[in-house]
Amino acid sequence: MAAGHLQWYGCPVKGRMRLAKPLEMRVEGVPRGQRVELLLDGKHVSGLIINDLKMRIGRAVVHLGGIGGVHTDRKHRMKGYSRRVCEYANEYMRKRGYDVSLLLGIPDFYQKFGFVCCLPVYKLTLTTRIAEQVKPDSRAGRGPSIKVRRARKKDFARIRTIYNHEYARRTGTVVRPRSWAGFRMGSSWGSKTITLVATDRKGQILSYAGFDSRDDAMNVFELAGHPRTYPALVGALAREAVKRRVENMAFLLPPDDRFAVYARRFGGRLETTCHYAGGAMSRVINVASLFEKLSPELSARLNGSGLAGIQTSFVLKTDIGAVRVTAAKGRVTTSTGTGGKVAVVRLPQQRLSQLLFGFRTVADVAREPGVRIPGRLEELLDVLFPLHWAHVSRPDYF
């Protein structure tokens, strides 16, 4: 992919952006997106990768810029180079139609570029000893109706289908395309993986579980599929844990995940960790395009509430743009026309990001500086942006 139209002291030029001799910015295509680089005398000193992805906000699918590989050469640090790269990347994404950006950040750095914490980290811990006692189901006395085996290369197309179906409405999840061929990593960078599949008597794959192949822990980073396969999968995972001589099994799943709810019967411990200024952080890139794509999801949320018959309109003003939101006849529509005498909601994009991911409530955000929500609209906004458990599966980290 060729470099795009960049800036030279505010004037558009093609290919590169000259900052001040001998610094320049360059954008190059890479397999999953674009690489943004800062060059000093023609040599790379700082950069990042914009991963070009699709992400779910409920049932809506938005254009995500997943930021990864942020770095500056050691001898060139503390010179503001990462700041230039990050600020340029934000502007690059805005001009090219991205809706939202997401990154996994070090503490106390990325908030200066508009990113804010939006995704907790989850862990469900089960005791191996108890999991060993789970009995697979059987039918008509013919033995277990579910078989568990290691996944083969050809199985991952089916695994992708199960994943996309399971997480079709889970905010934060990345849509896996047809080109997806398996897990690039497990629960952390560089970790190798093992995948089990559960099949019925005809050999059809009904569910799967992916876990790290390490010998000193049992970290299950993903488990999805038909609930009737859960007992067989738990038993198989417990046997893997026994081989590793580990007392506990960790499932990196949100608290309302179907398997996490099923596993409550076995006891265990649920942990939710929220970072202060690091970890999974997001920012809105384009308010208008984002809300246009959100309309079907917002309409569904409105129709599922007691406010389905409401008729109102307001302008949502952020520090990066504004959008007009109308709720009428059970539908939520948006437009860029912000004139007229309508109520105005003032919401910095950082707070909008946290509402978008269900990280905070409207009532909580309303107390923040720079936020103004007319009292009559607070209940409606609470319906449109409810508290929920957003999640990005570990293998999809960037």
296 vs 41: CA distance, rounded Å: 49
**Cβ 46 vs Cβ 68: under 8 Å:** no
First to last CA, the chain: 20
Q: Of 381, 376, 313, which Cα lies nearest the Cα of 347?
A: 381
Q: What is the pLDDT along the chain (398 residues), one digit of tens a residue?
A: 334 433 332 333 344 555 556 899 999 999 999 999 999 999 999 999 999 999 999 999 999 999 999 999 999 999 999 999 999 999 999 999 999 999 998 999 999 999 999 999 999 999 999 999 998 765 544 556 899 999 999 999 999 999 999 999 999 999 999 999 999 999 999 999 999 999 999 999 999 999 999 999 999 999 999 999 999 999 999 999 999 999 999 999 999 999 999 999 999 999 999 999 999 999 999 999 999 999 999 999 999 999 999 999 999 999 999 999 999 999 999 999 888 889 999 999 999 999 999 999 999 999 999 999 999 999 999 999 999 999 999 999 99
Q: Which domains does the chain have, with CATH numbers?
A: 5-98 (3.40.630.30), 122-273 (3.40.630.30), 285-384 (3.30.1050.10)
Nearest Cα residue to 228 out of 206, 201, 256:
206
pLDDT (0 to 100) of residue 340: 82
Peptide bond into 22 cis (omega under 30): yes
* Residue matched to tokens 């007392």: 247
pLDDT, residue 12, reads 35
Structure tokens of 198?
Answer: 């559960």
Residue with tokens 């790290």: 212
Question: pLDDT at position 142, please?
Answer: 54
3-state secondary structure of 94: helix
Candidates 105, 135, 134; CA nearest to 119 is 105
- Classify residue 175 by its DSSP letter: P
What are the structure tokens assigned to 184, written together? 């690039």
Reported as type and span, the H/E element at residue 39 is: strand 33-40
pLDDT of residue 14: 41
The residue with tokens 């789970």 is 134
119 contact partners, CB below 8 Å, separation of at least 6: 172, 279, 280, 282, 357, 359, 390, 391, 392
What is the CB neighbour count within 10 angstroms for residue 87? 14
219 and 187 Cβ atoms separated by less than 8 Å:
yes
Which class for 390: exposed (0-12), middle (13-18), buried (19 or more C-beta within 10 A)? buried
Residues in CB range of 345: below 8 A, 6 or more apart: 314, 315, 316, 317, 372, 373, 374, 377, 381
Using a 10 angstrom Cβ sphere, with 0-12 exposed, 13-18 middle and 19 or more buried, the burial of residue 231 is middle
